[in-house]
């Protein structure tokens, strides 16, 4: 696996506070991302969730490592029972009534190369679906419903 990180950049028709809430509020996260009951955007907070392929589910073990309110959220991302550790960073940039979201996923090369589920193309496909479909639809719908926003 190559050491090149996955970097995604997407402009969303929603203000930063709506996107930040979608990334950090467990009730909102469940609607577009994963069910992370009690998630707290605080350094040191640990959380788990299950996900994977139709054939195999993996327990994800994560820990928040960096938070800058409405700007940056980083957490480690590894799998129970497997070598490797990666990091997911969400960066938010306000552009008038829109938000540019930059996701960077580093460390994918640390996962076992002999497991096809950990192939970079699978992560890329997953993040593409999550950001360009799930998150985009969720926050843009919220922005249309919020009084005073006009995305």
Q: Is residue 1 part of a domain?
A: no
Q: Is residue 150 part of a domain?
A: no
113: containing domain: 6-145
Query: What rounded mean pLDDT belongs to the chain?
Result: 94
Report the 10 Å Cβ neighbour count for 3: 9
Asked if 58 and 80 touch (Cβ cutoff 8 Å), the reply is yes
Report the percent of the chain where pLDDT is more than 70: 96
CATH number at residue 70: 3.30.530.20
Q: Is residue 151 part of a domain?
A: no
Number of domains in the chain: 1
pTM of the predicted protein model: 0.93
Q: At what angle do helices 136-145 and 16-24 cross, to 10 degrees?
A: 130
pLDDT 10s digits, 122-146:
999 999 999 999 999 999 999 999 8
């Amino acid at each position: 696996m190559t050491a090149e990180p996955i970097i995604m950049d997407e402009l969303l028709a929603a203000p930063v506070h709506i996107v930040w809430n979608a990334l950090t509020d467990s009730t909102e996260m469940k609607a577009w991302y994963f069910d992370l009951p009690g998630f707290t955007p605080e350094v040191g907070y640990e959380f788990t969730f299950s996900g994977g392929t139709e054939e195999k589910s993996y327990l994800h073990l994560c820990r928040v490592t960096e938070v800058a309110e409405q700007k940056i959220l980083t957490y480690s991302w590894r799998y129970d029972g497997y070598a490797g550790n990666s990091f997911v960073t969400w960066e938010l940039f306000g552009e008038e009534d829109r938000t540019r979201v930059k996701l960077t996923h580093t460390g994918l090369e640390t996962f076992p190369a002999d497991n096809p589920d950990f192939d970079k193309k699978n992560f890329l496909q997953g993040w593409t679906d999550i950001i360009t479909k799930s998150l985009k639809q969720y926050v843009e719908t919220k922005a249309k419903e919020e009084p005073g926003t006009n995305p």
